Structure 1
Amino acid sequence: MATDGRSERLKRVAESSLPIVRWLPAYDRSWLRPDVLAGITVAAAVIPEGLAYASLAGLPPQTGLYAALLGTVTYVLFASSRQVIMGPTSALAILLLAGVGPIADGSGAPYASLVVVTTVLVGLFCVAARALRLGHLVHFISGSVLTGFSTGAALYIVSTQLGKLFGISGASGTFFDRLWFVLSHLNEAQPATVVVGLVSVALLLVGRRFFPRVPTTLLVVVLAIAASSALDLRALGVEIVGRLPSGLPPLAVPSVPEAGVVVSLVPVAFALFILSYVQGIGAVQTFARRNGYRADPEQELLAEGMGNLAAGLFGGFVVGGSMSRSALNDSMGGKSQVVGAVVAVVLVVVLLFLTGLFTTLPEATLGAVVTVAVLGLVDVSKMQRLGSVSRSEFLIASASLFGVLALGMVWGVFIGVGLSLLHTIALVSDPKTEVLGRLRGSDHFVSRETYSDAVEIPDVLAYRVNAELFYANTNVVRDDLEARLRERGSPVALVVFDLSSSPIVDLAAAEFLGELEADLRSRGIDLRIAGANQEVAKILQATDEEGTLGEIREEEAIASVIDRWRRAQNGP
């Protein structure tokens, strides 16, 4: 019996941590054909993009394939999403280089070793966040931050590829530094490299526009390799990828640098963690809604954590959910993470037997792949919509965008997230409040701002706060209520504080209501509570030991509170 109980507990743990244990036995075999076709198509995009993003991260090209393989394999095991594909992304790659590169230069530590440590730190952040059940905190980072950051990141990434597209080396620094360097050194551009880069960009754009379901990226890479070999482009000054080692990713246990260096890597890893999870969960939620199922944000933290731990320990770099590759998967009819398994098999075959094919691939073509891939991140229409609808969110998006361009990717992340959190705090600390009136011929109380025919009761002020009531907004609410009382043309004998739109009331807010009641009572005004849910009612009952707020009933309507108060005033 004890053995059976232990087995049952192990089964529950496995099912909660490894969703594949649940979905694989119930897999619908009619999905196998579309899943395999989608997997092959996605792999055709993953291979060239993996090579390009490794170059973008300042790492050998094969590390992009390692990261793609390890991210995909772990995601198949741990993911709650059916369509999302995990692997390296352009934004993560450039943020990694921008954050870790200066630390490596300043400390003298090998860059590749610091990348391993940073990637492992990202994984540990994800696992710790999952253990603390912090997946819901992502909702405090507004979509406007992502819009601004994505646009800024795309422009910054394009600036890092201009050197490859024109054959100009030496550019560094911010977006403006890189752009000025390339423009001021155009006389050094390599004609053959320019032709290869521009032709590659043109072919990729044509494929994206007119043949979205065709693996254009892989076809362009194959054509570039063929042209490079046939025309000996290297002899014409075109940089090529060179030899890629074959074989599966090797175990790369990181050599831990000095404590001070590790400390300096922590904010970079944290920024990568935020960006990776925000990007990934956005894709997860998008395709879960589109395909009619629910994904688990906490499970996605674990999946992302395990993916980054594996990528760090086996020669890859930071991975996250890819919106573009996930969209390709969904458009091809992918139904489950069997797609990811097929992608992994293709990557294993390439790493074992086909790395030699990429030896003569021009670096300019990889630059073109990155450039075209990130163009989709530039969302001008969304920025325009923010500008016309919400000035505050437009300013947040703009600050994030220009933070990336002027200060770099790491600061762009922190500026955007910081402003988003400040905006959220401002909204909850200065909530919308309303004076309520009774609809004629009914006992329903509604906002007088919305319903002009709602009538106020002469000696009663019905008042509502449309937000949680907590320590940060009690002073604002007190001042607003006092202003409402002064605006009344007739004396008020009763204030009914409607808490139906305040699902949470903390201890400080409960004490505030007690202080407010005492203050109003000293001026001959009673205070009563309406609409309190069960938890709020318990808190208020516990803090109102003397019962000065009257009997607090759960979910009591305003009309009922007023009727009980009048009966008490009139006596038995």
Structure 2
Amino acid sequence: MALARHLQPGVDVMEDRNVTQATSARSWIPAIEWITAYKKRQLRGDLVAGLTTAVMLIPQAMAYAMLAGLPPIYGLYASTVPLVVYAVFGSSRQLAVGPVAIDSLLLASGVGALALQGSASYIELAILLALMVGAIQLTMGVLRMGFVVNFLSNPVITGFMAAGALIIAASQIKHLLGINLARSTNVFTTLYTTVGSWHAVSWPTIAVAAFSIGTLVALERWKPMIPRALAVVALTTALVWILRLDRYGVAVVGKVPSGLPSFAAPRIAGDQLIALLPTAVTIALVAFMEAISIAKAVARQEGYEIDANREMKALGLANLFGGLFHAYPVTGGLARTAVNAQAGARTPLASLITAATVALALLFFTPLFTFLPKAALAAIIVTAVIGLFDVAEIRHLYRVKRSDLALLGITFAATLTISIQLGIVIGVGASLLWFVIGTTRPHTAVLGRIPGTTAYRNVKNHPTARTIPGVLMVRVDAQFYFGNVDFLKSTLRQLEEDQPEPIHTLIVDASSINQLDSSADRALHDIAGAYKARQIRLIFANVKFPVKEVMDRSGLSECLGPSGLYLTLHDAVTDSNLLPKCAMIDADTQTTAVGEKATDFDGAGEPTAER
């Protein structure tokens, strides 16, 4: 057999090609992997999880569709095809895809500016938005641009979500009180108009809302295993039907059409695409950020890896195909995913079972939703978005990093007072501006030697660290680039002036400098020339290889001379005979301090914390 293979040289090539094609297919369609490796023992967990998640998803999806300004049936449409597509292309085994609150709010804000909520034009634009979100996510996934969501820092997202929670809750006041309010994403406007409309509230509606919220809270606290959203839907629907509360001002969902969503491509106009683009980009990024953070958290618990770019492609395809079947934008839901995982989901088959259950509801059970009160759906929304207000994270930022808490506050205030889309843009812009400001004014430290060691540390943080008379040792904790060269020049001058006596040597610890641009290189030439004219030695230690390459090419290394570059800070001190003789003997008898690592010109570097 082996001889036959050698006599057919094309066989190996063809087999290699087949292996490559199979690998490529698996990378695009992860379902091939889990289907071929599926075990019978996994079925029970997937079946229970799929049914449990469906029980939670059906009322939630209808509520979120109402939040998005769509008829509740469109929440169920968004819970069928997208789930099937994600199960085929997604890499997470437990992520429960479907409508979520924050994306529904973003849709209502963006599409609501172009059409009247609930109108045919509004519905068509919402579906077009799903296609646009899908196209953006798919393109970014193919181009491996999943890293873009890194610009959505945790403080920005926390502030955005907190403001979103308040806006969502305010948007449901009209359904909880049974009054007519003009649509607004401004919380203060909504509260003001609510006070002015207080005389028109519907007390039966308030009673249904209070009963719904009370039941949801009670079940969560004392009977968490009961599907509380479904229980509230069933109880309030029966209550309205038996007492005919719809005749006493309680708004109900009304007749819901039966049947699965049909294939239909929305009409596309250039002006609509341009108008929806900001909303589409915002939803695409926020939705992916939600999904990938949830998927990674569950994957860590379950012991497998998540590919961010594959997830981006899977969500893109889910929204693209979903948009062709009357769905609005979807992503992974935190609460649903937690329920799915805890119920025993082991593979994406659980999502397929969830989609099948929703499809059965669309085919046979939609008449049961006729007397479903909108106040109950509003109660489900309000209790669900409480989790978006992350008090623990706010406390954490207050203790750990006040500047990040300020970013959270800026994003929160901008989202709450200006607009939802601009709020997150302002938050991202503020975080980038803060980062740039930080790099233009980097942290610098005067170093001294810890007695009995070869370690050199910040004299402010280590009172025992000893400086050397006439020698200024400085560490700069940032890259050198055009934005901070002037600051660094002035800082070096100021540090020199602060010395108790004139210096004859300046040693720069470059362990924290990762790169050097042309402006910084020119500045270093100027600094070297100025110190040389004043007969002050300039020495660099711990220079990383990429930085040294620039210094070599620009001639800076030659300008510094053979004694201007050292592998370690201690080498620079001892080789230059800068330590007193007794101190040199003391240091030479010691080993390098814990945490210290002499670095060659290989790109390695030591951490800057506590130094």
Does the alignment reach a TM-score above 0.5? yes
1:142-171 CA distances to partner (integer Å, 9 max, x unpaired)? 222222211111111111111111111133
User: Map of 1:71-470 to 2, 5 A cutoff?
Assistant: 71-104=82-115, 110-173=121-184, 174-257=186-269, 259-387=270-398, 389-470=400-481
SS of equivalent to 2:80: helix
Q: Which residue matches 1:570?
A: none
Q: Which residue matches 2:539?
A: 528
1:166-210 CA distances to partner (integer Å, 9 max, x unpaired)? 111133221111122222212211222111111111111111222
Q: 1:191 to 1:515 in 2, by over 3 A?
A: same
Question: Structure 1 residue 482 and structure 2 residue 465: aligned?
Answer: no
Conserved 8 A contact 2:105-2:168: yes
Conserved 8 A contact 1:213-1:332: no
SS of equivalent to 2:316: helix
In 1, the alpha carbon distance for the partners of 2:566 and 2:169 equals 56
* C-alpha displacement of 1:550: 4.0
Q: 1:361 to 1:297 in 2, by over 3 A?
A: same
Q: Which residue matches 1:46?
A: 57
SS of equivalent to 1:214: coil
Conserved 8 A contact 1:67-1:311: yes
* C-alpha displacement of 1:339: 2.6
SS of equivalent to 1:68: coil
What stretches of structure 1 of length at least 5 have no aligned partner? 568-572
* C-alpha displacement of 1:552: 10
What stretches of structure 2 of length at least 5 have no aligned partner? 1-9, 579-611
In 2, the alpha carbon distance for the partners of 1:82 and 1:551 equals 59
In 2, the alpha carbon distance for the partners of 1:487 and 1:142 equals 38
1:28-81 CA distances to partner (integer Å, 9 max, x unpaired)? 554433332222211111111111111111112121112222332232223233
The AA in structure 1 aligned to 2:438 is L
How many residue pairs get aligned? The number is 565
Q: Whose Rg is larger?
A: 2
In 1, the alpha carbon distance for the partners of 2:532 and 2:120 equals 69
Conserved 8 A contact 2:177-2:201: yes
Conserved 8 A contact 2:539-2:564: no
Q: Which residue matches 2:608?
A: none
In 1, the alpha carbon distance for the partners of 2:288 and 2:487 equals 35
In 2, the alpha carbon distance for the partners of 1:483 and 1:220 equals 69
Q: 1:328 to 1:431 in 2, by over 3 A?
A: farther
Q: 1:473 to 1:119 in 2, by over 3 A?
A: farther
Q: Which piece of structure 1 moves more, 478-487 or 198-207?
A: 478-487
* C-alpha displacement of 1:26: 3.8
* C-alpha displacement of 1:118: 2.1
Conserved 8 A contact 2:26-2:32: yes
In 1, the alpha carbon distance for the partners of 2:335 and 2:162 equals 15
* C-alpha displacement of 1:313: 2.2
Q: Which residue matches 2:600?
A: none
The AA in structure 2 aligned to 1:290 is Q
* C-alpha displacement of 1:432: 1.7
SS of equivalent to 1:453: coil
Q: 1:129 to 1:428 in 2, by over 3 A?
A: farther
Conserved 8 A contact 2:540-2:565: no
Conserved 8 A contact 1:85-1:325: yes
In 1, the alpha carbon distance for the partners of 2:521 and 2:225 equals 59
* C-alpha displacement of 1:372: 0.9
Conserved 8 A contact 1:537-1:552: no
In 1, the alpha carbon distance for the partners of 2:131 and 2:567 equals 53
The AA in structure 2 aligned to 1:402 is A
In 2, the alpha carbon distance for the partners of 1:166 and 1:555 equals 74
Conserved 8 A contact 2:78-2:329: yes
SS of equivalent to 1:97: helix
1:69-115 CA distances to partner (integer Å, 9 max, x unpaired)? 23322322232333322211111101111111112369x99222222
SS of equivalent to 2:264: coil
In 1, the alpha carbon distance for the partners of 2:566 and 2:129 equals 51
Q: Which piece of structure 1 moves more, 447-456 or 4-13?
A: 4-13
Q: CA RMSD in A?
A: 2.6
Conserved 8 A contact 1:156-1:404: no
The AA in structure 2 aligned to 1:386 is L
Instruction: State percent identity of aligned pairs.
Output: 32
In 1, the alpha carbon distance for the partners of 2:429 and 2:562 equals 43
* TM-score, normalisation: structure 2: 0.86
In 1, the alpha carbon distance for the partners of 2:295 and 2:414 equals 27
* C-alpha displacement of 1:387: 4.1
Q: 1:155 to 1:16 in 2, by over 3 A?
A: same
The AA in structure 2 aligned to 1:310 is F
* C-alpha displacement of 1:389: 4.5
